[in-house]
Amino acid sequence: MEKLFQLILGVVLALLFIAFARTRGPRREPFIYSVGLIVAALFYVVFSFAGATTQWLMLEPIGLLVFTLIAVLGLRVSLWFLVLGWASHVLWDVLLHLIRKQPFVPDWYPVACISFDLIVAGYIAAKLRKRDRLFGSIPH
């Protein structure tokens, strides 16, 4: 039951995040998703300062760099990179923080983050697919 609540929490937060991004208008909405991806990775860096080993203190910023690069590519090359970034962040959540629990990460966070990431990735992908069907395949 606890995991279900964590998943629902992630869904609710994702829907609120999407609603917020949509209120910023179609030109700013992708920027909000890019910043959100960076912040999602930044949370793990912040958590690591609460007692992570040196290995994790080096690993988490690498993740932040990777997801920042993907976020920038999402704005400059193709919005599909944002889908890739949010979807691949699930792997970060699962492989590094759910399967290999880290004491510096709150227990609820990886599970909530998984559903959050999947909802955001799915929403952006659905929106891009709809746009591509209407206007043809355009990178932005």
Is 135 part of any domain? no
Report pLDDT for 123: 98
pTM: 0.89
Q: What is the extent of the structural domain holding 108?
A: 2-20+32-130
Is 125 part of any domain? yes
Give the span between the Cα atoms of 60 and 48, in whole angstroms.
7
Range with lowest mean pLDDT among 7-21, 68-82, 94-108: 94-108
Kindly state the average pLDDT of the residues 1-21.
Answer: 96
With a cut of 90, say whether residue 4 has pLDDT above it: yes
From the list 95, 75, 93, 91, the residue with the least C-alpha distance to 33 is: 75
Report pLDDT for 137: 54
Report pLDDT for 98: 83
Is 80 part of any domain? yes
Average pLDDT of the chain to the nearest whole number: 92
For the chain, the domain total comes to 1
Is 119 part of any domain? yes
> Using the 8-state DSSP alphabet, how is residue 86 labeled?
H
